[in-house]
Structures are given as structure tokens and as C-alpha cells.
Amino acid sequence: MNSLRIYNTLARDKQAFVPLRAGEVRMYVCGMTVYDYCHVGHARVLVVFDVVQRWLRTLGYRVTYVRNITDIDDKIIRRAVENGEPIKALTQRFIDALHEDSDALGVARPDLEPRATDFVPQMLGMIQTLEQNGYAYQAKDGDVNYAVRKFAGYGKLSGKSIEDLRAGERVAANDAKQDPLDFVLWKRAKEGEPPDTGWDSAWGRGRPGWHIECSAMGCTLLGDRFDIHGGGQDLQFPHHENEIAQSEAATGVQFVNYWMHNGFVQIDSEKMSKSLGNFFTIREVLEKFDAEVVRFFIARAHYRSPLNYSDVHIDDARGALTRLYTALKDVTPDAGPLDWNEAHAQRFRAAMNDDFNTPVAIAVLFELASEVNRSQDAVLARQLKELAAVLGLLQREPRAFLQDTPRSSRDSGGKEGTESLTPADIETKIAARVAAKQAKNYAEADRIRAELLEAGIALEDKPGGLTEWRRS
């Protein structure tokens, strides 16, 4: 188990992974703010850390995976007011949608999924400790803020110095703060806000700041110090930087040993974001593309690299996944367990132990697929299927995947006619082709084959006169 190396953002280097407790991993990942449907950027976080927890379990670790839900936030309040609905009704609707989307992508539910609103007492306790330790103060506007300059290690995760931040005016000025860099721990309730958006506290009625939520939930559920904290690259600063400052000032110990950040999803080389208006929701994408194809598209890129999203790239991923399923179509995998001593499995393990290098691991799957195609070996087919299972792939019956209508065909990007041909239609045309061949009308047989191919249906003539088909 000790051969795993993880790129630790805090160290800016790959480091050997050594858990705080032997054989056990405690991991926290920042989840979603539930005021809208999840987009493809969220899908990447979901899939990336699902693969991480799968590999940790494969290595034999006992994993406690926590992924929180932010269910109180300025954006949530604003959306609820716009909709004229209670906060809980809004957040529950989008929590349900989050679960639907993540389930479709084959993402296992986390072991614990805390909601911020259930941990307000713990947040208040941490804020009180910070105030007692001299790191927090109540400003004249009623907010309780964190005094950034009091924490000597501020900037160690992001590599930003106090002077750089001040010079760049990274934080909006607020006359009530002692320093523009200070961030809010407790927001004083404002006049006219819905009554279900505040809690009573020693500093007046209000609600927690975003950063204190994850510190309190992480420390409560995993301890003052735990192994891995993950999230998107955009959270490295200020969110994760602020989490470190709060947590370590409150507990006096190092907050997290390994920080992991996945790269951005890009559209035309520009970061996908709601603020830029260039984002796609997961459910919009799943209306056009098979969910396993989307998962494969995400998994075949290294988690730290940018991921360029386009329909062309998803279609390419579908073609690649089709090649893997095709290798299993005619070979029933052996029923034995995965053999980790086999050469392909050893290369797969080495890749995953090298900072979860899924591109190399998936390249091993293609090597195996080529071997299976050549040898028709049931043992190698088992290796292919079982190694792919570690990534949450290739677990469907091959023909079910190969004959499934590609959702992209319902869009202008798909091959015209594919969506109108049902399996029964295809079998009817195959029967007509067989009849034409029997009548020695080979021109008609070729015409039918070409017609089906134009519609995205590839035929494969098997021994004994059997013809199989798949979506191309």
C-alpha cells in the first residue's frame, strides 16, 4: 500500500502517501452549492474523486469519504427569493438532482454527505475559539471576520504572499474590516432576509461564511487533522487557503496532510464557468451522450490537467470506449479473480500509484483489448473487465452498449437516421440483406449494408451465416 504517490499541492510535488492511521484514509472533498443543476465542471470533481476513493479501497485502505453539501449561501438565498420558495425546498430539489446526475455517471455515494445547515453549532464553536485565540473579531457592521495577518502561514497552499495579495487587491475593500484581506466567518443577518436563512449566535442573528462551513464539517467528521482534502483548482485560493488558516488557528495542529486539486474544464481553451455563461449542465450533456461515455471522457485525462470539452471530444471518447467493449463482445471473461501479478495488471497498478495516472492506466486497457482481440483469451478478457471496473467502466453487457442508440444522434452532430432505426428495424433490414444474398442479388445486399452504415449501423458477418450489428 505504501507505493502510492500523490501530488500534494501544499508541497508542490509528488509525495509518498503515508496515512495518519495505518490502513485507514480519511478524505474530505468540497461538494456542491445547491442552487442550480450541476455542470460539467462538477461532473469532473465527482468522477475524479470517485476514481481516487475506488483506487484507495482497491489498495486495501479503509476509506471514510466525506463530500459536503453547501445548502446555505448568498446565491441560494437570492435564488429562493427570486423563486418565492423556502430555502429547504430549493436546496432539496437540487440535492435530488445532484444525486440523479452522480448516480448516472456511476459515482458511488460518499460515506458521509454532511449539509452545512446541520453543523451550524460546530461552526459557531469554531468561531468562538478563533475569537478567544485572537484570530477573529466582530466588525462594526456586525460581521465576524478572520484577521488574516494574525496567521503566519497564510498563503502556504496557494503560494501567495500577504504583500502580493494586498498589491493585487484580490479582496474587495470593506471599511468595516480591519484589513481588506480579512474574510467573513459569520454574516450578520440583513433586514428583509427570509427568516429561514439565519441562526442566533453570540454575535447576533446571522449565518456562517462559506469557508468556516468546510472547516467545521471536516474537523467534526474526520478529526482536527486528516489525510486528504480535495476539490477543484478554483478552490485552492481563497477557499482552501482560508480553511487552513481557520482550522489551524482553532486547533493548533496541521489541518490536512495531502491537498489534491483537479484541473479546470475548458470550452475553447477558456475555463467553463457560470459567470462566463459557457457552461453545460450534466443533464444537458446526458441528454446527448451516454453517461459511461462521459465518465470515460473525464477519466482518460489526468485529473490535474485541463479538460477540453466539446461534442467532438465526447464522440471520440465514445469511439474509444466502443473499441474496448468490442474486445469483450465475443469472449466471455474467465470467472476467476483479478490477477494483480499479471503483466498488464502490474502496469495498471504502477500507473494508478503514480498520482492516479488514469491516461496510462487506460492505455493498458487498450493493450489488453488488442490482446483479447488477437487471442480470444478468456483470462485476458477477465483482466480487461476487472481492471476497467476499478475505474467504473466496462461493466455493462457488451452488446447492450454497442447496440444502444448514441444520444448524440438526436442532435445535429449525430449521424442522420440513427435515432429512427430501432433494433427491430435493423433486424428487418439484416433479414432482407440475407434474403438478397441467398437470391444472389449481391448488389441489393451491398446497398442494404451501405444504407445501414450511412445510418450509423455497422454489420459483422460471422461464421454460420450469422450477422451481428453495432452502432458505429
Q: Is 88 buried (19+), middle (13-18) or exposed (0-12) by CB count in 10 A?
A: middle
H or E element that contains 347: helix 343-353
Residue 415 CB contacts under 8 Å (≥ 6 apart), including other chains? 409, 454, 455, 456, 472
CA–CA–CA angle 434, 440, 443 (5° rounding): 85
As a whole number of angstroms, the distance between CA 277 and CA 300 comes to 26
The number of CA neighbours under 13 Å toward the Cβ of 258 is: 21
DSSP H stretches of helix in 252-339 = 282-288, 291-299, 311-329
Whether residue 320 contacts residue 265, with contact meaning beta carbons closer than 8 Å, is answered with: no
As a whole number of angstroms, the distance between CA 388 and CA 300 comes to 12
- Write phi, then psi, for 376 (nearest 5 degrees): 55, 35
As a whole number of angstroms, the distance between CA 391 and CA 108 comes to 11
Looking at residue 21, what DSSP letter applies?
B
243 assigned ligand-binding residue: yes
214 assigned ligand-binding residue: yes
30 assigned ligand-binding residue: yes
Q: Is 225 buried (19+), middle (13-18) or exposed (0-12) by CB count in 10 A?
A: middle
- Please list the residues that pair with 229 across neighbouring strands: 28, 259
419 assigned ligand-binding residue: no
274 assigned ligand-binding residue: yes
As a whole number of angstroms, the distance between CA 66 and CA 31 comes to 9
Looking at residue 310, what DSSP letter applies?
-
Whether residue 68 contacts residue 115, with contact meaning beta carbons closer than 8 Å, is answered with: yes
Binding site, by residue number, is 30, 214, 239, 243, 274
Q: Annotated binding site for ATP, which residues? A: 274
- Pick out the residues of the known binding site for Zn(2+): 30, 214, 239, 243
